[in-house]
């Protein structure tokens, strides 16, 4: 949660409050003079599924790498599992599972060996590493490919293997950087299903995504990131309620028509958003708004009424869409 320092200090200490797994305040990451993460605050509670939603370049990966204790902070305060990454990196990493944005699988080893050796990095015995590798291959439905090379696996299979690898040390906290980017819908749903099961088992998930449906499906709470800053925080529901209307009517006009509409849609909705290829009317009742458009004698080529989404929240907050 983006709680300003002053407000934080004002909150009385609650003895029964579960300490957060991650606590970040004023977190900054700079590369040279370029600021990739600009003083962000957030907390992640045990058992939560927490998301960073934002477009490419927002600073999601830079933030995740600091949480993962592989990238030193430029400034700010960070505690992961109650420990300080700058002094306890290896101890923290021993209890993290990391799914990096790039798969980073070992192309010289088989599917099973990838898991075995990773278990060894966490100091598991050979036997235990082998046992867990078998179990995890079952969990991500790759048992049949156990002895195959990694290279010929599909993108979705590779991603599942990386998730299995991240689970080899039975982590308290799983960090997933764009877990489903570039996958086809079927592969994405299979992955979401696995992540959902982990969440039900009580694993704390922290993920980044630029897909609003992924954030809505998986996250209990999320922060919206844009240009190195957190611009909003809350549950998907709260964010939609706070920054958008219940429904949206999307109007597409014949080429050239939209430019000449100038003022003619005024007053038809709580808010009107003009995109290059369509106009969005934000209203509690999208159908009613669409009917009112027709009543004014306007004839859009197509009308789509849908529920508001996080995409609309992002558009509202930044004036841009999430995926370009």
Partner 1 sequence: MAVGVRVLEHNAMVYRRTWHGSVLSSLLSPILFLAAMGIGLGGYVNRNGGAGALGGVPYIAFLAPGLLAAQAMQTAAFDTTYPIMGRIVWDKLYDAMLATPLTVRDLLVGELEWVVTRLTLVCGAFLVVMAAFGAVRSPLAILALPVAVLTGVAFAAPIMAFSATQKRDSNFNVLFRFGITPLFLLSGTFFPLDRLPAAIQPVAYLTPLYHGVALARELTLGSVDPAAAVAHVVVLLAFAAGGIALAGVALRRRLVV
Ligand X SMILES: Nc1ncnc2c1ncn2[C@@H]1O[C@H](COP(=O)(O)OP(=O)(O)O)[C@@H](O)[C@H]1O
Nearest CA among 165, 168, 135, 169 for reference residue 153: 165
133 binds, among ligand X, partner 1, Mg ion, none (CB under 5 to 8 A by kind): none
247 closest CA partner among 215, 279, 285? 285
For residue 211, the minimal CB distance to partner 1 (Å) is 23
Q: Cβ distance 24 to 76 under 8 Å?
A: yes
If one asks whether residue 91 binds partner 1 (CB under 8 A), the answer comes out as: yes
Count other C-beta atoms under 10 Å from residue 30's C-beta. Answer: 15
Is 28 a residue that touches partner 1 (CB under 8 A)?
A: no
Burial of 23 (C-beta count, 10 Å sphere; 0-12/13-18/19+): middle
Name the one range near Mg ion by CB under 5 A: 37-45, 94-102, 236-244, 295-303: 94-102
- Say whether residue 33 binds partner 1 (CB under 8 A): no
When binding is defined by CB under 8 A, the residue of 98, 167, 230, 322 that contacts partner 1 is: 98
Binding characters for ligand X, 57-96, by CB under 6 A (x = yes): xxxxxx----------------------------------
d(C-alpha 109, C-alpha 127), whole Å: 18
Output the six-digit token pair for 195: 């992540």
- Residue 28 CA: distances (Å) to CA of 32, 157, 196: 12, 35, 31
Residue 36, interface with ligand X (CB under 6 A)?
Answer: yes
- Which stretches of the chain bind partner 1, using CB under 8 A? 31, 68, 70-72, 89-91, 93-94, 96, 98, 100, 102-109, 113, 116-118, 120-123, 165, 169
- Which stretches of the chain bind ligand X, using CB under 6 A? 31, 34, 36, 54, 56-62
């Amino acid at each position: 949660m983006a709680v300003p320092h002053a407000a934080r200090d004002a909150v009385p200490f609650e003895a029964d409050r579960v300490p957060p797994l991650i606590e970040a305040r004023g977190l900054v990451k700079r590369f040279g003079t370029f600021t990739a993460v600009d003083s962000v605050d957030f907390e992640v509670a045990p058992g939560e599924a927490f998301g960073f939603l934002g477009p490419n370049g927002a600073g999601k990966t830079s933030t995740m790498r600091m949480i993962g204790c592989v990238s030193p902070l430029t400034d700010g305060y960070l505690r992961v599992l109650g420990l300080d990454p700058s002094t306890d990196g290896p101890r923290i990493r021993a209890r993290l599972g990391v799914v990096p944005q790039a798969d980073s699988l070992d192309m010289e080893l088989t599917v099973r060996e990838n898991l075995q050796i990773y278990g060894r990095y966490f100091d598991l015995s050979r036997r235990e590493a082998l046992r867990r590798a078998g179990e995890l291959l079952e969990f991500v439905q790759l048992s049949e490919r156990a002895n195959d090379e990694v290279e010929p696996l599909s993108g979705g299979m590779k991603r599942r293997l990386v998730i299995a690898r991240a689970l080899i040390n039975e982590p308290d906290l799983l960090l997933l950087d764009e877990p489903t980017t570039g996958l086809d819908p079927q592969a994405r749903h299979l992955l979401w299903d696995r992540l959902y099961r982990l969440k039900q088992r009580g694993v704390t998930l922290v993920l980044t995504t630029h897909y609003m449906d992924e954030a809505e499906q998986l996250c209990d709470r999320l922060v919206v990131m844009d240009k190195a800053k957190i611009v909003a925080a809350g549950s998907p529901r709260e964010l939609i309620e706070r920054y958008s209307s219940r429904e949206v009517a999307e109007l597409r006009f014949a080429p050239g028509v939209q430019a000449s509409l100038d003022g003619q849609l005024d007053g038809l909705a709580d808010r009107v958003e003009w995109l290059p290829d369509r106009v969005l009317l934000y209203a509690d009742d999208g159908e009613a708004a669409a009917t009112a458009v027709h009543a004014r004698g306007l004839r859009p080529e197509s009308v789509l009424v849908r529920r508001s989404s996080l995409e609309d929240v992002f558009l509202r907050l930044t004036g841009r869409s999430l995926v370009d």
